[in-house]
Chains A and B, each alone.
Chain A
Amino acid sequence: MSVPPALLSVAILVVGAMVILTLTSRLTRDSTALGTIGMLTLVVAALPSVAGDPLSQIALFSILGAAAIAMLLVPSAELHVTTQRPEVAALVLLGSAGAVVLATAGDLLSAALGLETLSLSAAVLIGLGRGERPLEAAFKYFVLSAITFAALIYGLGLIFLATGSFAWPSLAQVEAAYHWVLLAGVMLFGLGVSYELAVVPLHWGALDVYTAGAPALAGYVMAASKVAAVLALGRLVVGAGAPPPAVLIGIGLLSIVWGTLGALAQRELRRMLAYSAVANAGFLALALGCGAEGRAAAVFYVEIYALTALLVFAALAGRGPGPLGLADVPSEEWGATRALGLALGLLSLAGIPPAPGFWAKLAVLAAAWHAAGWGPTVVAAVGGVAGVLYYLRPLPDVFAAVRADGGGPGPRFPAPAVLLAGAAVVFLGLVPGLAYAIARLAIG
């Protein structure tokens, strides 16, 4: 019997996590060994992708890539109990295992299990952060995820009722009289997965988590859950008929408007990034509703978005968990590398060509134009362009601060993570066609 490559990766990730948990007391003192074991696990877990199909390849690459950057960030994470770094590393591995399962699952039941593993790991990761706010945010995230998970399970039941199996559903297998049962099931299941995407009206928990969690960990939570959710939703809507894509377009546009307006109102950098994550989730949902070309654009978008978000959060890591008001940006210690990483990330998020974020937005707009018409395209284009207004606001102050004191980035600055993520962003900016081609192969 042959084991699917993705499953093999999941097994390796879980074993790695267990090894780390077993050796906790030793690894607490030796952060080099912790990093080595973590990275080694990720590298070994990526190997089976050689034999996999394009879908599992892209899932493994993007999720494990995000996890690798997160692993480099573990030493800079602001934790409530500083001896818990091994637990953090183990949770990153477990969360990645969940994300891989969600993205590549053979049936809906395994996908639901993956989703729950991912979402629990994420909640605990955030809860480990220093201060009161992370714990509160993690609790809210957990409760709200339980509510949407209930909807998801109910949807799973309806799908089973209509099709008699837990396989990825298709409208063609079902008698016309039961179409609505299947549709209701698919929509409930899809909304459950959309919680990971953080679209309106399921964004409340994610908003607090992105704001309050330690930056080093919040970036990973954001990246891994969005990548996995996009891949899962992309597979879900393929055979589901017309209504689910239309719903996705609707909530996508709502999220774009909501997130953009919310971000414009913020006076705090982290909160602004959190709202902008909602707007970006809107772009993803919009693209997912726009047919085959749109699904490819969504995967392309999420690869780039996840990487850029990781870069921005890595550049903010290690400077303390507290809020960073836009008015306080000039008095902050930045250092050139940190400032450059942040600038590159924000420019890409703002969609300034030739940064990759721009190509991603363009791909979504092109797909939306052909599948959804001019109305949604114009709303999305205006929303995307308005992003410039908030993303670029902190940048002049950052550079002014760097110029004024020329100080270093602080002792806990994760230079390797910033450099790795930055290099990847630059690479994607130069050859966007390559990433897009892979995305189209994975999910056409």
Chain B
Amino acid sequence: MSGVLLWAWALTLPGLVLTGLGVGRRPGSASLAGPGVLLVVAVTWLLGSRTAAELRQVDWLPFLPDGAFHLRGDALAAVMLAVLGFVSLCVYVYSLAYMADEPPAGQRRFFMYLDFFVASMAILVLAGNLAVLLIGWAGVGLASFLLISFWLDRPGTLGAGLQALAANAVGDAALLVAIVLVPAGCGDLLTLQTPACLAVPGGARLTASLLLVAAAAKSAQGPLYFWLPSAMAGPTPISALIHAATMVAAGVYLLVRTNALLAAAPPVAVATAALGVATALGGGLASLQQANFKRGLAYSTVSQLGYMFAGVGFGAPFAAIFHLVTHASFKALLFLSAGVVIHARDGEEELAALGGLRRALPGAYAAFLVGSLALVGLPGLSGALSKDAILDAGEQANLLLAVCLFGGTFLTGLYIGRLFFGVFHGPRPDEQPIHHPSPLLLWPLVPLAVGAVVAGYLEWPAGLLSSALGETAGHAEPVRFASPFGFFAGLLGVFGFALSGWRGREQAAEPVRVGTDAGWVGAVARRGYGLADRLAAIHSGRLGRYALASVFGIAIILLIGLRA
């Protein structure tokens, strides 16, 4: 079984080829088996003897400090693969219906991109060293770009894709530098913290900071948050799978995988926690400002990823992974039920035009309610347990940050309540017709809703998840159900949720200010392009100037070279 786990990344490739060749009555149906098998393989491994396996092909890239083709199938990878398989299976089935209005070639292309994404993501979590990690890392970035820009004929999709690509490029560059700066023989993700591998100028702090930058870019943390809300221009199933459940969590995964390195660099760990807390609060506040349904959810994802970063920074990688697992389920649920609404209203995403859909879309209503309550942390649901674990860790590591995070749960309740009551309650703003969703759109919500309710019980009370993960996600504290801190955090969230319901009744169609995103990115881009234009203008095409420039260039270089 362990051998199969190592090759799990290849499981969606047959689907990719078959879909590309046009096999299957419905475009994309040939791809369905891939994620299903992936889920089965991962779960079977977790339920079985759990023997870790490794594949190591040395000297694959001899110019790197560690250029082996190195895969490692262990418990952490299996848990991530199980999450990936579970959410992507739901999203695949959902997409069959959601994308049914596309021309067949477009549907096939969509599923091929999806297959490529799942394969890249699987490589990312199975990577044993930085070099292989980078393949998956860049692969998911590319898949994300392709899928955000899927509807090229709609305004803004290409720009949004390029924004994602630019943010990813920052992270890729940091990872690249990390790959080449470690001493020879280093690069294995588990041994980066050994003294031999820290023998570089800067040591643990530099390596850990580079990985933090890479993770922050992938997970839209801190100043690199800007691309994720824009990424909502892509199809909604993509927002659920890539930009909520799996890819954006890759940064968290990386930090958990290398948690021993982070522990060797305490200042970077504190910075990680602070970055996470700041993003959790900032994302929550920003979500309250959004006029667009999906963007509101996107900022919620930014905020929840901040919780996970905070967890890693607090020295509790297990809590972060636990929240990653529960979040994958309830946030995918929220996005897919939002997709049902958007699909029923012919692509309408503006909150001002949505409202009172409770009776017309009861399935989406129930699913969104379950997802919201899991998100705010209603005691007993999955989000409550995992957020509790993070807050608990924070209480012991850094009380100030933990208290800020505690206050953040109120924001969580407020913003998700605003979306929930705004879309499903109150009066209908217009009498536009509503398409009733096909069963294929609703069925995938069921397993996700079950997950949103019960995923927390993977850990409490029996500690199944932490015993399965063992030491791969650091030393796990037993999660307490309803510690006072966590319990009150949950109540605070529910209070915020209820408050926005009460407020929402009074001001149903209040106009909302649209947040300005990515101000600094736009400014940097404008400056950069201005400089580029001026530089390109030097190339006037006049031979005399060219000749003069060449002669002076040679002379200057000669003088500099001889002086040195």
Q: Which residues of A does B touch, CB under 8 Å?
A: 139-140, 143-144, 147-148, 151, 180, 183-184, 187-188, 191, 200-202, 204-205, 207-208, 242-244, 246-247, 250-251, 258, 261-262, 264-266, 275, 293, 296-297, 300, 352-354, 358-359, 362-363, 365-370, 374, 377-378, 381-382, 384-386, 388-389, 392-393, 396-397, 400, 403, 432-433, 436-437, 440
Contact = CB atoms under 8 A, between A and B. Distances in A.
* B166, B172, B529 — most chain A CB neighbours (10 Å): B172
Given A143-B547, A262-B532, A388-B165, A183 B562 contact: yes
Contact of B541 (A208, A264, A266): A208
Contact of B176 (A261, A381, A393): A381
A366 B564 contact: no
B179 interface: yes
Given A143-B547, A403-B105, A433-B59, A243 B539 contact: no
Nearest to A386: B169
B523 to A, nearest CB: 16
Interface of B: 59-65, 67, 105-106, 109, 134-135, 138-139, 142, 145, 149, 152-153, 158, 161-162, 165-166, 169-170, 172-173, 176-177, 179-181, 201, 528-529, 531-533, 535-536, 539, 541, 543, 546-547, 549-554, 557-558, 560-562, 564
Contacts, number: 166
Contact of B550 (A144, A180, A208, A440): A144
A207 B543 CA distance: 12
A291 to B, nearest CB: 13
A148 B550 contact: yes
26 contacts: A140-B543, A143-B547, A144-B547, A188-B558, A201-B549, A204-B546, A244-B561, A261-B528, A261-B536, A264-B528, A264-B529, A265-B529, A300-B63, A352-B142, A353-B138, A358-B138, A363-B61, A369-B177, A369-B180, A369-B181, A374-B201, A393-B162, A396-B158, A397-B152, A433-B59, A433-B60
A265 B535 contact: yes
Given A353-B135, A381-B173, A437-B62, A258 B535 contact: yes
Contacts of B145: 392
A151 B145 CA distance: 47
* Secondary structure type dominating chain A contacts: helix
A147 B63 contact: no
A19 B539 CA distance: 41
Nearest to A145: B550
A367 B63 contact: yes
Given A353-B134, A381-B177, A388 B561 contact: no
A262 B179 CA distance: 28
A293 B63 contact: yes
Nearest to B543: A140
A233 B452 CA distance: 62
Contacts of B149: 396
Given A144-B543, A243-B564, 5 more contacts: A296-B63, A367-B63, A385-B170, A397-B152, A403-B105
A262 B535 contact: yes
Contact of B62 (A151, A377, A433): A433
A148 B177 contact: no
A365 B67 CA distance: 14
A432 B557 contact: no
* A258, A385, A403 — most chain B CB neighbours (10 Å): A385
Contact of B549 (A204, A362, A389): A204
Nearest to A208: B541
B63 A205 contact: no
A352 to B, nearest CB: 6
B554 A148 contact: yes
B561 A207 contact: no
Given A184-B558, A262-B535, A353-B139, A366 B180 contact: yes
A175 B65 CA distance: 39
B561 A243 contact: yes
Given A246-B564, A377-B180, A381-B173, A265 B546 contact: no
Nearest to B153: A400
Contacts of A388: 165, 169
Contacts of A148: 550, 554
Contacts of A437: 62
A207 B550 CA distance: 13
Contacts of B558: 184, 187-188, 191
Contacts of B543: 139-140, 143-144
Contacts of A363: 61, 63-64
* B180, B531, B551 — most chain A CB neighbours (10 Å): B180
B550 A204 contact: yes
A246 B539 contact: no
Contacts of B165: 388-389, 392
B532 A389 contact: no
A251 B63 contact: no
B511 to A, nearest CB: 34
B106 A403 contact: yes
